[in-house]
Structure 1
């Protein structure tokens, strides 16, 4: 099984080695700033006037549009809001500092169509993903991933290889200490689609079977015989986080980018949909038997 080693930036992990997501830390800081302003009885316009800033500068800090918040600007806001507790001030400055780090994925800006997914994935505790056409990216082999890119609009061999390498880098969250718990429901068609032929698909299914044996990975197949179900729209992933301050996020990938949904109603709808497709799928044990049969069929067919 081919592996791709991706170096871990020491700035992207905490002092104890726990993974950190710059985007998630910025999201948490922005929420804290908004709540602190409201608790202090200020409008964004009044804050801008008090500090001699523009109104957009204040609002961008509260909506994660400002990717980097200067320490001195954060101090001014905390002074204005009456945040005097040293520990709380240090925590907010730490969030601002974490939001400025660069993770390993920043080295692949040319390969990722969006950097937010590996960013959020690195601090997630659980991923619930539904895939209808192919094996999910986190469970793909290099050869299978390269074949998918070749099947798209990519023709440059170096570009295809780099995109596959970037995708393989995401797999580290499944093999690290305290790995992400992955729950995947995959449509039966993905197990049968001959991506780059029988040999590549068989190798991919063997890898899938190996990953399914890990205690933190649950894989279920959704049979074609189930007919219509609630997931007949588009594949999606729900990211859950260990910190209660970080609400879940839904990622729906598009051809050019990805849509991130954070409103509670949207997240609840997708969570209910995942529950429905999971209930329609066969068990993890039955799925392992199915994969084993598929591998046998692929290897015995000339």
Structure 2
């Protein structure tokens, strides 16, 4: 669930992500064509079933670009599919994930569910390096670069005004050997230390639970100040940013399901401690 850190840090400036040139061009053209059509942000939002504040957030870069949003903009502005095609090119060129990393950095709350691995924001360097290198044809230099980016992303948990992270893991994660037992023990020490922070909740769905909604796959929900929620899904090829209200509602329902199946915080921490003993 960590395509977010797949891009180099040259997409950042002054500690804050900045848009790559093509993404910024898309935003500028969205604003220009909306104004040329004689529509303010509220009017344009009503025509494509979004709020004016969300239109503003998209145009100013507060919210990442979304393929469904751009498809509606293409239809309303009669562009012949221009914006969707430009986003396809930006995705191909690897600019998409910088947008999500910006949302992650600016989030007030992150809710993440992982059925297979420790979430990237809680991984150790050794665990992250093993995950990134597995089954890939990346060079050693590229692997190390991606590890460094992942570690940098984690600073949002310990900065002066940290994000509130709620992470739910399936118990399968606790028993899956990633690398070596030593790597796993270090990873469990890291998990338990992070779980003690006041802004981090690590909850575990116990192994006795059968089928539940979370087994459909990992996801992240991010709450942005004054701009609602964003979702993020991952697959083998690329990540997908989710912004449409009905899709966000579906992810929120999935979140409530996985959280309801998880053990309370103290019991989850006890389970982590017990699992850590198996990797000594």
* 8 Å Cα contact 1:111-1:163 kept in structure 2: no
Indicate how the Cα distance of structure 1 residues 278 and 155 shifts in structure 2: closer, same or farther if over 3 A, else same.
Answer: same
- Structure 2 counterparts to residues 183-262 of structure 1, below 5 A: 183-242=166-225, 244=226, 246-262=227-243
Cα deviation code 1:248-293 (max 9, x no counterpart): 1110012222111101010011001101100001111111111111
- Structure 2 counterparts to residues 26-65 of structure 1, below 5 A: 37-39=38-40
Q: How far did residue 63 of structure 1 move? A: 10
Q: How far did residue 117 of structure 1 move? A: 2.3
* 8 Å Cα contact 2:41-2:56 kept in structure 1: no
Cα deviation code 1:166-200 (max 9, x no counterpart): 11111011111110000010111111111001110
Indicate how the Cα distance of structure 1 residues 22 and 289 shifts in structure 2: closer, same or farther if over 3 A, else same.
Answer: same
Q: Using the alignment, how far apart are the partners of 1:21 and 1:63 within structure 2?
A: 15
Q: Using the alignment, how far apart are the partners of 1:195 and 1:42 within structure 2?
A: 52
1:264 lines up with 2:264 in the alignment: no
Q: Paired residue for 1:10, among 9, 14, 27?
A: 14
TM-score by length of 2: 0.70
Indicate how the Cα distance of structure 1 residues 137 and 221 shifts in structure 2: closer, same or farther if over 3 A, else same.
Answer: same
- Following TM superposition, the consecutive aligned residue runs of length 4 or more in structure 1 with deviations greater than 2 angstroms are 6-12, 20-23, 33-43, 61-67, 110-114
Indicate how the Cα distance of structure 1 residues 30 and 173 shifts in structure 2: closer, same or farther if over 3 A, else same.
Answer: farther
Q: Using the alignment, how far apart are the partners of 2:168 and 2:95 within structure 1?
A: 24
* 8 Å Cα contact 1:231-1:273 kept in structure 2: yes
Q: Using the alignment, how far apart are the partners of 2:175 and 2:58 within structure 1?
A: 42
Q: How far did residue 237 of structure 1 move? A: 0.1
* 8 Å Cα contact 2:19-2:98 kept in structure 1: no
Cα deviation code 1:40-88 (max 9, x no counterpart): 9988xxxxxxxxxxxxxxxxx9895998xxxxxxxxxxxxxxxxxxxxx
Query: What are the ranges of 5 or more consecutive residues in structure 2 without an aligned counterpart?
Result: 1-8, 45-54, 62-92
* 8 Å Cα contact 1:261-1:267 kept in structure 2: yes
Q: CA RMSD in A?
A: 3.7
Which secondary structure does the structure 2 equivalent of 1:226 belong to?
coil
1:133 is matched with 116
Q: How far did residue 156 of structure 1 move? A: 2.3
Which secondary structure does the structure 2 equivalent of 1:259 belong to?
strand
Q: Using the alignment, how far apart are the partners of 1:206 and 1:167 within structure 2?
A: 18
